[in-house]
Copies of this chain bind each other. A is one copy, B any other.
């Protein structure tokens, strides 16, 4: 049976008020009292009950991080940094994965579940903007979006400039003389923001170079997984003329694509150059090492946690759109 404030108060022969003050680090308490209380706390091995504290204050000290899949390297790297950044501000992080399930996303956001347990949500969504709009009416819990970027101003956002990032990747391939540049990750069937923006950057770069956009060269990928990359690349390699470069919308897609190229008896980068987005560590050790656009998960995490903390403290702060920097890393897979 854990000790309570009352027990400590009785032991130290002071009021619970005083004990509470000591525990919460309140200033107006005499040194003699404090010592007496501290001694009692130590003797009884007292620890504040977080549930009671939460009931009283309305704060849990917990954030939720919602991602499609925690075991996707980009998201686990993000989680690592979010947990670290949150710890700095004395928040702890609960992780939930939606598994690409829209229904589950909605459930988590609307709190049909138990969302109230969190002070705020960091949400890396698959949902479209329209769905998000709809949800906003039902949820009132502080929310920061990661990786979307529609600039509609109603939500806090932290994300890179997806159009520019995609443009940079393709521009690099163009600069190296590639002219038949395919893309894996476009999802024409569903209007997600990220693939749309990256597709826009891809096409923009091609047009700037005076090249035509060949619809056959843009392949969908449902989950940005290695398997999706493998499948899509295999299809691309059967085209005539064959692409001489592939821009993958994620590094995981790129890993799958590279393996597909080898299995087809071709070489990366000699026959087909490949570049991805995310800059996961895996790509720095693969053979060949993977060119990629780096997203700085540490920056994204710090900003996101800072925003959510601000919004928790004041729900009416103006939403901010934070653009995280990105960096092109040229490695072996694109001839670097």
Contact = CB atoms under 8 A, between A and B. Distances in A.
A79 B95 contact: yes
A258 to B, nearest CB: 7
Contact of A114 (B92, B95, B258, B287): B92
A48 B93 CA distance: 21
Given A77-B71, A83-B70, A94 B96 contact: no
A106 to B, nearest CB: 15
Number of copies: 2
Contacts of A230: 285
A55 interface: yes
Given A114-B92, A285-B230, A71 B60 contact: no
A262 B287 contact: yes
A111 B46 CA distance: 11
Given A111-B47, A230-B285, A73 B70 contact: no
A287 B285 contact: no
A302 interface: no
Interface in A249-300: 255-256, 258-259, 262, 281-282, 284-287
A80 B94 contact: no
Contacts of A285: 226, 230, 255-256, 258-259
Contacts of A111: 47
Contact of A70 (B60, B80, B284): B80
A284 B259 CA distance: 9
A83 B55 contact: no
A80 B51 contact: no
B76 A71 contact: yes
A116 interface: yes
Contacts of A96: 83, 92
Given A80-B97, A94-B94, A256-B285, 12 more contacts: A48-B114, A51-B51, A55-B55, A69-B80, A70-B70, A76-B76, A83-B95, A92-B114, A94-B95, A226-B281, A262-B287, A287-B287
30 contacts: A2-B116, A45-B138, A47-B111, A47-B116, A49-B55, A49-B116, A50-B117, A51-B55, A51-B116, A51-B117, A52-B55, A69-B80, A70-B79, A70-B80, A71-B77, A73-B73, A76-B76, A80-B97, A84-B97, A92-B94, A92-B96, A92-B114, A93-B95, A94-B95, A95-B95, A258-B287, A259-B285, A259-B286, A282-B282, A286-B287
Interface of A: 2, 45, 47-52, 54-55, 60-62, 69-71, 73, 76-77, 79-80, 83-84, 92-97, 111, 114, 116-117, 138, 226, 230, 255-256, 258-259, 262, 281-282, 284-287
